[in-house]
Amino acid sequence: MPVSIAQDGTKLWQRRTSRAEWLHYAGWFALLLLFVFTWQVMTRDTIWAFVLDAPRQAADIGSRMWPPRWSYMSAVWKPLWDTINMATLGTLLAVAVAVPLAFLTARNTTPSARFVRPVGLLIIVSSRSINAIIWALVLVTILGPGVLAGILAIALRSIGFIAKLLYEAIEEINIEPVEAIRATGASPQQVLAWGIWPQITPAFAGISVFRWDINIREATVLGLVGAGGIGVNLESSLNTLAWPQVTLLLLVILGTVVVSEWVSAKIRHAII
Amino acid sequence: MSAVSRRWTPPPLIANPVLRYAIYGGVALYLVVAFGTVELNWARMSEGVVRAGRLFAGFLQPDFTSRWDDIQAGLLESLTMTVTSTIVGIILSVPFGIGAARNIAPLPVYAFCRAFIAVARSLQEVIIAIFLVVLFGFGPFAGFLTLAFATIGFLAKLLAEDIEDIDPAPLEAIRATGAGWWQVLVYAVLPQVAPRLIGLSMYRVDINFRESAVVGIVGAGGIGATLNTAMDRYEFDSAAAILLIIIGIVLACEYASGFIRAKVQ
């Protein structure tokens, strides 16, 4: 433990040696410099008059937004149904692809650690790096606007998420039941079904439900780029400056998110 | 013993048979209804196959050069936005996280911080960005505010849960020496949560970068705006280049954060 001697000869406890202390400060200073530099680059084109005007704008929009237009609710049910379908079907599709992908990628179940595993990891990373809304942007251009683009966007983003968590769960399994099953003369498929799968079922169910919950949240905004669901109404209400409708839509989205979170928490609690 | 099957079958996931079949039936019914309401426009989709082919070709032969100026500007905005919003977000999330931990914050502060976190977490980044663009004008400043706000919601919640889970013994020990609230915080709470806070912050860096690509779609600056333009112009090879850059940077962030987390934990 670093100790320094005070002027009157008593020993003072210190957390770090002075060299470590200086390095520590240098690190913080470098971070500060980085912040100031990036801040200046970022705000180079910022028009501060708009920024200063923000409180007035907020008050103005706030007054326009209230009260919500409840009568618009009748037009929201169908898109809301589409939104939930996009999330659910997208999650199911993702699960269908992610499960085999996870088994091909996990170090202890992959057929070839040298060739198949890197490909699997690449697919997982690519899928995870791109947000659902960006996948939707791409898919809407390819497939045209609609729910299908939304489902595929949700699925493409979720494959990486589910597969990553699942292959990590597979790599952490207990090897003994697997060996025991193998010792009975089971085929590789039987080992998979009776040795590995039962061990990861809780993780698998938890991950899927958790992703479904996230997907409901994401599906509400996919319509902003044309991929169907309640976001389409949000987009058109914003474009026509129909603020009372925007308020209603935000309340609906908030309600849906809260309910889906509650459902997912209940299910996960029941499983695990 | 009559002819009872001696074949073993694994116990079902849901023990109650009535509930089990009700759930199976419900799921099947839902799937049929849900697929029924998905409208498929086959003509439009067959047209899409050609474009999908072009996009795929774009991935194999991405065009980094012809829109390089736009890509560079967008990337610069995204990266600066990521750095500033993460730093500001972390700094602000610490007081919110401490305020939202029941074991060290008084009840009114706790209620306020929890409510703030709940709002910050339940709103999508894109929706926040739409509003902030309306309030603060187009450009990365609105994006920066969006990401900083989202970072607070994310980090403060996890930090609060972490603080609530800490070992109370050091807390008592420091308190027993006559330490004040600040000293308890610095010497008992912070050392216990710091490694995880650093890990979560690193994780948030790559979330913020990914999100910075999204907020651009609604006008809050960053690489998303560039990507949106490229898609609108049907320039799939430029779009593919942008997507590949995003994937590359996220990969680098993830690798770096894994490295740093391994060092601090």
| A3 strand-pairing partners | A13
Q: Closest partner residue to A143 among B13, B45, B243, by Cβ?
A: B45
pLDDT at A272: 67
Position A233 confidence tier, pLDDT thresholds 50, 70, 90: confident
Residue of chain B whose alpha carbon sits nearest to that of A81? B34
pLDDT at A146 > cutoff 70: yes
B-chain CB neighbours of A85 within 8 Å are 34, 37-38
8 Å CB contact of A46 and B139: yes
Place of tokens 């500033």: B84
Contacts of B23 (CB under 8 A, 6+ apart): B14
Among B128, B148, B154, B149, residue whose Cα is nearest residue B219? B128
pLDDT digits (tens, 9 = 90+) for B83-129: 999 999 999 999 999 898 888 888 899 999 988 888 888 788 888 89
DSSP codes joined into one string, chain B: --S------PPPSS--HHHHHHHHHHHHHHHHHHHHH----HHHHHHHHHHHHHHHHHHHS---STTHHHHHHHHHHHHHHHHHHHHHHHHHHHHHHHHT-TTTS-HHHHHHHHHHHHHHHHS-HHHHHHHHHHHH-SSHHHHHHHHHHHHHHHHHHHHHHHHHTS-HHHHHHHHHTT--HHHHIIIIIHHHHHHHHHHHHHHHHHHHHHHHHHHGGGTS-SHHHHHHHHHHTT-HHHHHHHHHHHHHHHHHHHHHHHHHHHHH-
Residue whose structure tokens are 């074949």? B7
Q: How far is the C-alpha of A47 from the C-alpha of B259, rounded, in Å?
A: 39
Instruction: Tell me the nearest-neighbour CA distance from A35 into chain B, angstroms.
Output: 6
Evaluate whether B150 touches B211 at the Cβ level (below 8 Å).
yes
**Is residue A1 over pLDDT 60?**
no
The Cα diameter of chain A in Å comes to 82
B13 touches A: beta carbon within 8 Å:
yes
CB contact under 8 A, B38 and A258: no
Residues in chain B: 265
- pLDDT exceeds cutoff 60 at A113: yes
User: Could you tell me how many residues make up chain A?
Assistant: 272
What is the rounded distance in angstroms from the CA atom of residue B189 to the CA atom of residue B174?
10
Task: Label each residue of chain A as H, E or C.
Answer: CCEEECCCCCEEECCCCHHHHHHHHHHHHHHHHHHHHHHHHHHHHCCHHHHHCHHHHHHHHHHHHCCCCHHHHHHCHHHHHHHHHHHHHHHHHHHHHHHHHHHHHCCCCCCCCCCHHHHHHHHHHHHHHCCHHHHHHHHHHHHCCCHHHHHHHHHHHHHHHHHHHHHHHHHCCCHHHHHHHHHCCCCHHHHHHHHHHHHHHHHHHHHHHHHHHHHHHHHHHHHHHCCCCHHHHHHHHHHCCCHHHHHHHHHHHHHHHHHHHHHHHHHHHHHC
d(CA A198, CA A194): 6
Residues of B in contact with A257 (CB under 8 A): 122
Read off φ and ψ for residue B243, nearest 5 degrees: -60, -40
Q: Do B211 and A131 touch (CB under 8 A)?
A: yes
What average pLDDT does the structure give for chain A? Answer: 86
CB of B163 within 8 A of CB of B191? no
- Phi and psi torsions of A12, nearest 5°: -110, 135
A residues 58-87 lying closer than 8 A (beta carbon) to B:
58, 61, 81-82, 85
Chosen for mutation from B20, B51, B72, B80 (greatest number of chain A CBs closer than 10 Å) is B80
Question: Of the candidates B40, B218, B243, which has its C-beta nearest A130's C-beta?
Answer: B243
What's the burial of A22, exposed, middle or buried (CB within 10 Å: 0-12/13-18/19+)? exposed
Q: Do A134 and B227 touch (CB under 8 A)?
A: yes
Q: Tell me if B221 sits within 8 A of B143, measured CB to CB.
A: yes
Instruction: Name the residue with tokens 């109370």.
Output: B168
- The pLDDT score that the predictor gives to residue B5 is 65
pLDDT per residue over A238-264, tens digit each?
A: 888 888 888 888 888 888 888 888 888
pTM: 0.82
Report the pLDDT value the prediction gives residue A38, as an integer from 0 to 100: 86
Residue A153: pLDDT band (50, 70, 90) is very high
Fold (topology level) of A77-271: MetI-like fold (1.10.3720)
The residues in B 177-216 lying below 8 A from A, measured between CB atoms, are 210-211, 213-214
Q: Tell me the domain boundaries of chain B.
A: 66-264
Distance CA A195, CA B125 (A): 42
Kindly list the domain boundaries of chain A, sorted by start residue.
3-45, 77-271
Task: Measure B263 CA to nearest chain A CA, in Å.
Answer: 15
Report the residue from B34, B44, B239 with minimal CB separation from A143.
Answer: B44
pLDDT tens, position by position, for chain B (265 residues)?
Answer: 455 667 777 777 677 888 888 988 988 888 888 888 777 777 777 877 887 888 888 788 888 888 888 888 888 888 989 999 999 999 999 999 989 888 888 889 999 998 888 888 878 888 889 888 888 888 888 889 999 999 998 999 999 988 888 888 888 898 899 888 888 888 888 888 888 888 888 888 888 988 888 888 888 888 888 888 888 888 888 888 888 888 888 888 888 888 887 877 6
Report chain B residues whose CB lies below 8 A from the CB of A82. 37
Does the pLDDT at position A15 exceed 80? no
Distance CA A88, CA A209 (A): 10
Chain A hits for B28, CB-CB cut-off 8 Å, are none
B260 contact A CB<8A = no
Q: Which of A51-60, A119-128, B147-156 has the lowest mean pLDDT?
A: A51-60
Q: What's residue B1's pLDDT?
A: 47
A146 touches chain B (CB under 8 A): yes
Task: Report the distance separating Cα B98 and Cα B76, nearest Å.
Answer: 33
Q: What is the CATH number of domain B66-264?
A: 1.10.3720.10
- The one-letter code for the residue type at B219 is G
Report how far residue B190's alpha carbon sits from residue B205's, in angstroms, rounded to the nearest whole number.
21
Structural contact between residues A110 and A116, judged by C-beta atoms closer than 8 angstroms? yes
User: In this structure, what token pair is assigned to residue B141?
Assistant: 């400043």
